[in-house]
Structure 1
């Protein structure tokens, strides 16, 4: 898949992704990458976050790959469950990293408005990457979400929330999951051609 014919849309989670977060590094290094900017990263509103994703996807006719982290993953699922067909058709796939379980006991109050989590099958290929010690979602919960969304899943050992705090600044190995997703997209395109 030619990266010149794809837009990469970066969807950070709660509080955004700081400059040393892997999503910020990827945004600088992937061609045609841009961040879906939210009005308020600290007091997320699910309707506003979904609407901004829709605006960003529909603003350009170029196909997209979504690269979401944490609450960004939950936003993708919610958006996909209600997005117009024309927008959904632009999405070639989604990399969903460390989804935040907004239904878990002790979930921060700011995130609870994103519950319940949309459980519809995503209408595009997706790769979910979780961790066996992520405080935002257990490995079992990540696998449950992957099944609901129809995502291929990988659970990393000891990777935490796959963010700066857990030591994932550049997260070079994460590109392997992106490449795996792109291979899946290419295989699907060949089968349907």
Structure 2
């Protein structure tokens, strides 16, 4: 075989392999984008008001976050992430509402934007919504600690905005929810530290 023809065949073969590789890579990239877009459409979160409604419902039932985790069979980290306004799977979101026997209006529900298929902005500033700082706390206590706990809770109530305290004597459980400004954070942390010494168990979600 002529050497020139042989070299030409090698070049053609490499070109075909490169074309095939690029085609497969493009196909895989498209598949990956479609999967990511599907995942975005199947995730959901709640805004600050929605999270407070859910926290209040947990408090009304006298539950801790551990109770909700057990009843929904979702990890505690997923529950914490959800109550901080992070996105979770749609099926997890529905399970939380089902267990709490709660219906949430659409205005409190946020959905992840499909950034892969949405047009990108090339000019102007994109502003991100900021979540107001909030806290949800649940703890268990014994009757002998109640006077000290009530006194400390009254102080905590002054530090929080829209504070809601639910104390259940029959179960020895107290839940607290509310918002706060950043300048009060250190005072709130110090107050919670006092409560940690008084409660038999405590869970705090910021």
Rg larger in structure: 2
Calculate the TM-score normalised by the size of structure 2.
0.23
Q: Which has the higher contact order (CA 8 A, sep 6+)?
A: 2
Write 1 or 2 for the structure with the bigger share of helix.
2
